[in-house]
Chain A
Amino acid sequence: MPHFRQNRLCLREYFNMFNEEENRDTFDIQISVSDPEKVGDGMNAYMVYKVLTKTSLSIFSRDEVCVKRRFSDFLGLHSKLASKYMHMGYIVPPAPEKSIVGMTKVKVGKEDLSSVEFVEKRRSALERYLLRTVKHPALLKDPDVLQFLESSELPRAVSTQALSGAGILRMVNKAADAVNKMTIKMNESDAWFEEKQQQFENLDVQLRKLHASVESLVCHRKELSVNTASFAKSAAMLGNSEDHTALSRALSQLAEVEEKIDQLHQDQACADFYLISELLGDYVRLITAVKGVFDQRMKTWAKCQDAQVMLQRKREAEAKLQHANKPDKLQQAKDEIREWEGKVQQGERDFEQISKNIRREVGRFEKDRVKDFRVVIIKYLESLVHTQQQMIKYWEAFLPEAKAIA
């Protein structure tokens, strides 16, 4: 479809970016999500996407694999990865968002433009999600990721239904976490973390603002395209009724120019959207994941503190038992002390590890962010250049027609 030309171009550029990766000898993996297909009817219907992986990496069993996956499979993958890696401080790329409204239209069978656009938007988002996931060195090797990409049958992910019981439970847990966070006042001994958190907070605010402005631009450009097309038709009619021959012809030519310009506006709106707006949307979600990782560190610290408090209590209890004559209980107390000493040590190790991981992850994240924005913005400016070049072409062709009116 002509609309989505720009989108494809962008992703090829994205691939090239991956292939320039310096940290690995051969980062050679290409993933595409394509061919959305509707399966079933009515409210039980769902879309199935083809996931094609081309790679020369040895961890894969074949160098070209093609599987069929549905949206909930992607959500299931993310859910597993998040539960495995987030608490270690790894930034796990978030999956695309669910949309009950969007999906319902598709299920109900509306073949109109908005549901086609919705499916394309989702397909593109799923592709970017997978690309970001495999870009992460640890996630690439994860067995769940490999299974997702290679295995022809995948157990149905059950806990991802929009309003399921599990979903509600997760929401409740999130809220509880938030409350807990407020009662912990962490002594930040490392200024780096405080600084970074503040930076991400600021970045979040500005990116959301920028995203909203770009969405508004997309909307107005689409509107401009529609209104230009409408004007073009009207100008053609005016040309038809004009009884001066040369002027009539010039007005028809004007109508043609405006029609071409309307198509330009449409294409530009598409570029606005698929290049910039979606990138910003992705980063707003990514930053939520980054903030989540900082929260995990605080949780780890809290756990460590709790363990120390427990240890202290156990020591106090043991001290008390020293003067009572209960050898069994004393032994138990001593055992418990050892247990909690171990937990404290583990807690401290965990905290150090997660802090180290986060530093590394943030470094990697920022590097990717710089690259992503650079590549996409340059691509976007190039699309603007193309639009202006076309404009010049069209008006240069029209000018002699206007001058020819005698």
Chain B
Amino acid sequence: FFKLSGPAFSSQLKVCRDKPFFLSMNVDLQTDATLQVDISDALSERDKVKFTVHTKSTLPNFKQNEFSVVRQHEEFIWLHDSFVENEEYAGYIIPPAPPRPDFDASREKLQKLGEGEGSMTKEEFTKMKQELEAEYLAIFKKTVAMHEVFLCRVAAHPVLRKDLNFHVFLEYNQDLSVRGKNKKEKLEDFFKNVVKSADGVLVAGVKDVDDFFEHEKTFLLEYHNRVKDSSAKSDRMIRSHKSAADDINRIASTLYTLGTQDSTDLCKFFLKVSELFEKTRKIEARVAADEDLKLADLLKYYLRESQAAKDLLYRRGRALVDYENANKALDKARAKNKDVLQAETTQQVCCQKFEKISESAKQELIDFKTRRVAAFRKNLVELAELELKHAKGNLQLLQSCLGVLKGDT
């Protein structure tokens, strides 16, 4: 159907490396020579995307220093879920899983265009086709970037980078056979999430002795909701912007036709204005695309990250409840003088678990804030710079055209 891959695509992907998405999100992740991961290529087929995961490493764990494997979205999810389910990692913010590649909307548009081919001129059709192809490519680049960010965050994390599953993911050049969960498993997940949110409410209700965590809990609950709202609203705003740019495209085409048909002096006038709108329309489309990249994607990413941070707090909360219950059980056992040793052991384990989570969680949440502030700063600055660049570009085009048009009278 629509293959975007191979050297042509890779060169396109490399071109946009100057301002890579992942660096925007993870500003203080330095490229570490001991383990570097990236997605060097990607292939989009009818119903799946194949990512080529490329690793460079000096670590002794790997057989070679440089190697590549092909992975699909489900394998990323498998890796993410294995982190979440691992008790050892309960005290860390698990990097959020990349969203599923979704080309449905774009495909639908391309299909509609194909159906409407008869009702428009050849030029119009070619123009619209190019637009939609560019849109498809943009969505494709984004999904590649999201998958890449996930891997880079894992590679940068001092503990997660050592995970065995992660190494298998990077190195094992056969299919990991984790193709999509079956229905039963999906239902189990659904119920797990329902219970978690009920628990979450319960756990969140208990006031924390530690001020730091109490503050974090309050903050994250509100922040997450606000980011969710902002993310949705920014998406709507950008969609309207794109629609307006599309209208200007049609206006430019009609003005061109008018210019070629008109019998008066207006013909030159219309042609000049048509040319102007063609150019400003491209700028408007770029503005919408940049807003999408710097604002909408930023908010979407922090929606997922703040959820991961909330999950960490939940796990700590659960550990605290377990610890408190173990304390109560120990008191009871001592009172009855029955199974005291067992109760003591359980209490010790719970205590250690809770303290371990609390210690790493504190650092993780501090790092989260640092990352968040840096990412917002970088993206807001770049957003403002791009908006300025485009507005100045537009202004220059408009003024120059006005100069010509006024001079003609």
A227–B240 touching, CB < 8 Å: yes
Tell whether B142 is near chain A: CB-to-CB under 8 Å. Answer: no
Contact status of A374 and B409, CB under 8 A, knowing A210-B258, A224-B241, A395-B387: yes
In the complex, what residue of chain B is closest to A397 when comparing beta carbons?
A: B384
In the complex, what residue of chain A is closest to B391 when comparing beta carbons?
A: A391
Tell whether A184 is near chain B: CB-to-CB under 8 Å. Answer: no
Number of cross-chain contacts by CB at 8 Å: 158
Contact status of A213 and B251, CB under 8 A, knowing A238-B230, A242-B223, A374-B409: yes
Chain A binding surface, main DSSP class? helix
Within 8 A of A (CB), among B19-54: none
A216 to B262, CA, bound (A): 24
In the complex, what residue of chain A is closest to B250 when comparing beta carbons?
A: A213
In the complex, what residue of chain B is closest to A383 when comparing beta carbons?
A: B398
Find chain A residues with CB under 8 A from B219 CB: 241, 243
A378 to B236, CA, bound (A): 32
Tell whether B145 is near chain A: CB-to-CB under 8 Å. Answer: no
Q: What per-residue 1/0 map shows which CB atoms of B96-137 lie under 8 Å from chain A?
A: 000000000000000000000000000000000000000000
Tell whether B406 is near chain A: CB-to-CB under 8 Å. Answer: yes
Find chain A residues with CB under 8 A from B226 CB: 234, 237-238, 240-241
Contact status of A234 and B243, CB under 8 A, knowing A206-B257, A213-B254, A217-B248: no
Contact status of A388 and B247, CB under 8 A, knowing A210-B258, A223-B240, A237-B226: no
Tell whether B237 is near chain A: CB-to-CB under 8 Å. Answer: yes
B373–A230 touching, CB < 8 Å: no
A235 to B262, CA, bound (A): 48
Tell whether A317 is near chain B: CB-to-CB under 8 Å. Answer: no
Q: What is the interface size of chain A, counting residues whose CB is below 8 A from a CB of the partner?
A: 55
B395–A230 touching, CB < 8 Å: no
A399–B388 touching, CB < 8 Å: yes
Contact status of A231 and B406, CB under 8 A, knowing A247-B377, A395-B388, A399-B381: no
In the complex, what residue of chain A is closest to B236 when comparing beta carbons?
A: A227
Find chain A residues with CB under 8 A from B229 CB: 234, 237-238
B395–A216 touching, CB < 8 Å: no
In the complex, what residue of chain A is closest to B244 when comparing beta carbons?
A: A220
Contact status of A392 and B395, CB under 8 A, knowing A231-B237, A238-B227: yes
Stretch binding the partner chain, chosen from A147-155, A322-330, A365-373: A365-373
Q: Which listed residue (A247, A389, A391, A396) contacts B373, Cβ 8 A? A: A247
In the complex, what residue of chain A is closest to B257 when comparing beta carbons?
A: A206
Find chain A residues with CB under 8 A from B266 CB: 369-370, 373-374
Within 8 A of B (CB), among A353-406: 366, 369-370, 373-374, 377-378, 381-382, 384-385, 388-389, 391-392, 395-396, 398-399, 402-403, 405
A241–B222 touching, CB < 8 Å: yes
B391–A388 touching, CB < 8 Å: yes
Contact status of A202 and B236, CB under 8 A, knowing A217-B251, A234-B226, A242-B223: no
Tell whether B194 is near chain A: CB-to-CB under 8 Å. Answer: no
How far is the CB of A208 from the nearest CB of chain B, in Å? 10
Q: What per-residue 1/0 map shows which CB atoms of A177-219 lie under 8 Å from chain B?
A: 0000000000000000000000100110011011001101100
A235 to B230, CA, bound (A): 6
In the complex, what residue of chain B is closest to A216 when comparing beta carbons?
A: B247
B residues near A (Cβ < 8 Å) are 215, 219, 222-223, 226-227, 229-230, 233-234, 236-237, 239-241, 243-244, 247-248, 250-251, 254-255, 257-258, 261-266, 269, 273, 276, 280, 369, 372-373, 376-377, 380-381, 383-385, 387-388, 391-392, 394-395, 398-399, 401-402, 405-406, 409
Q: List 20 A-B contacts (CB under 8 A).
A: A202-B261, A203-B262, A206-B257, A206-B261, A213-B251, A220-B240, A231-B230, A234-B233, A234-B234, A238-B229, A244-B373, A370-B265, A378-B402, A381-B276, A381-B398, A392-B391, A395-B384, A399-B381, A402-B383, A402-B384
What 9 pairs between A and B have smallest CB-CB spacing? A224-B240, A217-B247, A402-B380, A405-B377, A231-B233, A227-B237, A388-B395, A391-B391, A220-B243
